[in-house]
Chain A
């Protein structure tokens, strides 16, 4: 019985146009993403498959597998359409009574229908692979981005993922639709699958739930992630997805679930005409009872009371409201609404619980974080509801079969349409209220009671709601126009997808992006600030746009039974009357006037530049000015400014003198000046008599001056400049976040003139350079480049400068710049501060201003017999971690002055700045610190998982006063090792001192993981630490691991000795600047011969270890002690810049530790034994005696070596 049904299903499906349409859609999507990644769209468009790129080929097995996997997730919609249908359609078309009465078997019927559809579904999904393959051979793609083609690269992801996933999701949809006999249940199925997927995704970054996250996700993306997360370009280009433990377990689990579901479906399915034939439901019984109690006919006339009908506008409004209530109740009472919202709320709680995780440590659930996280999380569910219910609303009467009655009622057309739209809008209000309630509940559950209902309301009902309402109008219009519910849903999904690729499609101006507006970032310091203005104007513009859409929807609203398009047009023209003209005129008037005002703001008051045009500008800068790269230029030696900050108007005036000195051996006569972007130059002149302005390139912000007389070697000349900054109106995007009403944070490199050609302004990405006809560019010169040694990494136009400024701001704010505060005074409504540096500093300074409160502390320098005041300028309300930060500052000063040398300033200031950016940065004695990375961190001292990162970040930034502000490396490879790696090391040592060595494992685990992740996404080349080219994953992450290991191996004292000696030689030195090899040489001086190889592995090579504890056991000895035996498989590898590995001889001492059981508090414990043993390649066996009962044996317990699989370095042992 099976075969004929199966074959019929196949034939039926193959004849359906939908099958081929689905196939075509997937094929086109596959081809598009591949072609886009292959560069078919040219400049300005960057697309990569699964974040590959650089050296990873577009048709590498990893990229193909990623593209196929992601597109197959979108294919879920198709699976639900295909797999929900096979049995359901018999119910839908009422053919089930025909089929169920034929002598077919249940297995044959269900099996044939399921397998037939499943085969079709897989066939449809092959469209992806075909598209992905075809996309690579389209004309216009860059052939060099493609490697050799292998069929297996395309087939393997299908065997491993696509087919099992279709089987599983297909089983879900099939079972749901077959057993519930309701196609809507497949929607719920889709939503639940999505939520499970999202929840598992949210666990991915958490290092402690790896197996859970890999198993939870039915699509296997978690398993893929954990299997390939550390893959380098070389591996991505060549390896098929291995059958890792994660993948095997995941596949087995979900295939099992699929089979179980199908078995359940088989068991529960019955050949009966009704979903429940057993006992009539209460409802049916009641109806039967009612039918019987019908009274006898009345006889005589039907007498009805007279009524008055009103056909007034007021009555129409009442009808509108009555309908709105009915529609609203219809939505919120429907089981699907409750299910979707329920799933969303569940997801809200899962994500909301982990608010603001950094280093696995959450932040306080402050309202702005909560509301941003939750409304972002929930938006997906809101989109689903809008899309789905727009269709339901438009089709409600027709689906229920009452359309003919309601359509012939004496209500104007606008009443049904507008009431449905209003109901959908009201649903959005309800949904956002749900978000608000969840947020408050979460805050309460986390013991946080500083609710800010005003902020909730402002964010949810002031900002988000507007977007959703606009979307409601669009969704309704689409449903009305296409007049097919499912097609309408599909159109909306396409619309959402194009939203993602907007920039690629060339839609950059928000005037073209329906509902678009500039972003509205929030900061506790600055609220929504000035961003609201642009937002409001754009939303007004789009509200008028929505009015036009609503008008169109109303005009084309289907009323009556004839919905042929020509009829609808005729009907539309009949409906077009005075009110329509009025609405059209009003909509157009508002759109035009608001649009013009916006255009004036975005394109005339501000510069509007597309990514493409920006790329071209960078290109033209390089083409025009690179020839002056080696032109002799003077060096900046002194800056004296008068800086006036006007927070209320978001403007800044800078006037001052800049002394330039010719440090070259020859005289020079021309000066190339980079005017800061966005500056209005009121005045700029050089020398007496003034230099001649030869060229003023206002597009590329470059000026050329010819000095009146050449500047002789050793001579200086003064430049004076008056600059004005101020954003007039609002830009399309990227409104200035540095100059704001509360929380100005300006950086000299962005706001003050520079001298000479700026290599940093060139296009840097190799792919981008290539498509612009440029050669690839090195990130930094090698340490042997004599010319490059003349500049420090941080600024190329100055060495050490003298600095002084009189800084003013509004009377209610405090303003800070580097230097000692000589004087402060108030005059009128302005407050003045005079800062002056007591010794030269880097050409790198900052101005900050806000309504700060100041937390004061001090550090007593017993050696230098002085007191260094500590000031933390913070936003009132952010008191949480002030003490920690002050403690970190003191501990840092104590450690650094003792081991590295004296602190050069007379004070230190930490200043909070708005979270438009999230970093902390060290200027001379001045440390701006983002509100988002420490001020609101919630470090639970009792939670062993928490890392005290406010403490760590503070220690790191304080360390920069030595590493960065005393040692400035030359602008060559390895420069950031001198600055960032040493700051990491310093902070690690302070943390170790504060919290104990045994607490470092968690932190180093993070660093190691970040390094491994980072190298997987390297686009150009990975280099050893001593050659680092400003790569964060190397100088911070690998730097931490390496330096921690170094101090463990050669001793903290020896490392500090080397650092001290290095500082003594190089601090405040001028050109030629020092380099990383010089520091490595210092380390070698304090390293015994036996460990010189280790230093090479750490700094000069990319070294990887593969240690695996294969066996560990424990035995109690007669003397009461315990003998631990272990076997370790070991391997050492050396990788090249692309990640190609070759084995290296292993003969190193590696740390091995034996730990006791954890205490009740689960906090890290000190090991019973920590020793270093000699490891050789292959199998190593060790035996130890410990005094206490051991619980765990670990190789490399503190993550001092790079090992991609940490899990197998640990084994529990039991007696």
Chain B
């Protein structure tokens, strides 16, 4: 099973072009969609989740035309939107049961089983009778994944699930995601590189509505080996470096700035080679895009 996105484009009414000719093939397993804020990740997620239309292009889930047969998609879809609320005065159990009915789980015994099982597995069992209005951010997010898992989704879309979660909650959430399984498609959209590093076997980087790079995180990192160099400089030297070299990232460290530079060979002796990680890949893609825009 695979989700194939072909030449997908979308421009909003206000003129913002959210997606530009996006082509992606997403196999089963966890797929990471990485990109900065405003890159078009959510637009893509929502389009796949039948919540909005594209201007052109197609999305196919095997034989299923996602853009046309919305009902067909919805039957196999589990969706956790980027930002979502809850009915504050309804309990988790009640709402989950209600959503289960809407997912077509008609047998009440089965429904009870799956609701209970989900509440247990998302560690919400003890809080199941509480009104959702009283849930913390992490609990809410776990409730979100629980509802996305209702039914037997073949396609799960999780949009920026860990934004705003503390590290412990984020860990719990990652564990939960990792347990879902390899036989269905799970698309995880995020702007946090380590989410992808930790969880995904496949990934794509998207920026300004376009797919920059796709592949296995390990492979793409490997491709960058020997091209990333590091230097510790004073803050006021950064501007000069940026003019001379292809700086992909800079971050502060103990009052100085660590600069990562992309170059086929060591720029000069003051630079030392870095073992590249996915973050370097990510910043390299984003930075390329930025310089392209500037030029």
Contacts and interface: CB of A to CB of B under 8 A. Distances in A.
A411 B102 contact: yes
Nearest to A411: B102
Contacts of A699: none
B117 A319 contact: no
Most central of A287, A322, A330, A408 by chain B CB within 10 Å: A408
B230 interface: no
A562 B52 contact: yes
B45 to A, nearest CB: 10
A406 B79 CA distance: 10
B180 A288 contact: no
Nearest to B118: A304
A294 B123 contact: yes
Interface string A290-301: 110111011111
A401 B143 CA distance: 14
B46 A298 contact: no
B275 interface: no
B181 A302 contact: yes
A401 B138 contact: no
Interface residue range, chain B? 35 or more
A294 B99 CA distance: 24
B20 interface: no
A295 B119 CA distance: 12
A315 B13 CA distance: 37
Interface string A933-971: 000000000000000000000000000000000000000
A294 B74 contact: no
Most central of A295, A319, A402, A571 by chain B CB within 10 Å: A402
Contacts of A315: 104, 106
Given A304-B114, A304-B121, A297 B172 contact: yes
A322 B75 contact: no
B53 A410 contact: no
B110 A322 contact: no
Interface stretch (B84-92, B208-216, B233-241, B283-291): B84-92
Interface in A827-871: none
A326 to B, nearest CB: 6
Contact of A562 (B53, B117, B126, B135): B53
B247 interface: no
Nearest to B142: A294
B123 A295 contact: yes
Given A290-B130, A307-B107, A401-B85, A409 B99 contact: yes
A151 interface: no
A4 interface: no
Interface string B157-183: 000000000000001100110011100
A310 interface: yes
A400 B102 contact: no
A405 B50 CA distance: 11
A1160 interface: no
B149 interface: yes
A301 B152 contact: no
Interface string B54-98: 000000000000000001001101011101111111100000001
Interface in B99-129: 99-107, 110-111, 113-114, 117-118, 121, 123, 126-127
Contact of B127 (A290, A304, A318, A402): A290
B53 A304 contact: no
Nearest to A291: B136
Interface in A985-1037: none
Contacts of A567: 13, 52-53
Given A297-B175, A307-B151, A333-B89, A561 B139 contact: no
Interface string A308-349: 111100110011001100100010010000000000000000
Contacts of B106: 308-310, 314-315, 318
B84 A290 contact: no
Interface string B130-147: 110111101100001001
B90 to A, nearest CB: 8
Nearest to A282: B134
Contact of B51 (A297, A415, A561, A566): A561
B49 interface: yes
A775 interface: no
B74 A409 contact: yes
Nearest to A399: B85
B179 A302 contact: yes
A290 B136 contact: yes
A407 interface: yes
Given A308-B105, A310-B106, A404 B130 contact: no
Contacts of B114: 304-305, 307
A326 B172 contact: no
A512 interface: no
Interface string A561-580: 11010110011000000000
Contact of A293 (B90, B113, B126): B126
Given A304-B149, A400-B87, A567-B53, A409 B105 contact: no
Interface string A337-375: 000000000000000000000000000000000000000
B152 A307 contact: yes
A268 interface: no
Contacts of B134: 283-284, 286-287, 290
Given A283-B131, A290-B136, A308-B110, A319 B86 contact: no
Given A322-B98, A404-B81, A412-B71, A570 B110 contact: no
B51 A560 contact: yes
A564 B16 CA distance: 14
A299 B171 CA distance: 12
A407 B75 CA distance: 12
A318 B123 CA distance: 29
B169 to A, nearest CB: 8
Contacts of A93: none
A307 B138 contact: no
Contacts of A333: 89
B75 A311 contact: yes
A15 interface: no
A290 B179 CA distance: 23
B84 to A, nearest CB: 5
A829 to B, nearest CB: 61
Most central of A333, A407, A409 by chain B CB within 10 Å: A409
A271 B193 CA distance: 39
Interface of B: 12-13, 46, 49-53, 71, 74-75, 77, 79-81, 83-90, 98-107, 110-111, 113-114, 117-118, 121, 123, 126-127, 130-131, 133-136, 138-139, 144, 147, 149, 151-152, 171-172, 175-176, 179-181
8 contacts: A302-B180, A308-B110, A322-B102, A402-B85, A406-B102, A407-B51, A408-B79, A415-B102
Interface of A: 283-284, 286-288, 290-291, 293-295, 297-311, 314-315, 318-319, 322-323, 326, 330, 333, 400-402, 404-412, 415, 559-562, 564, 566-567, 570-571
Given A410-B74, A567-B53, 11 more contacts: A287-B130, A291-B136, A297-B176, A302-B180, A304-B117, A304-B149, A307-B152, A322-B98, A402-B87, A405-B84, A410-B103
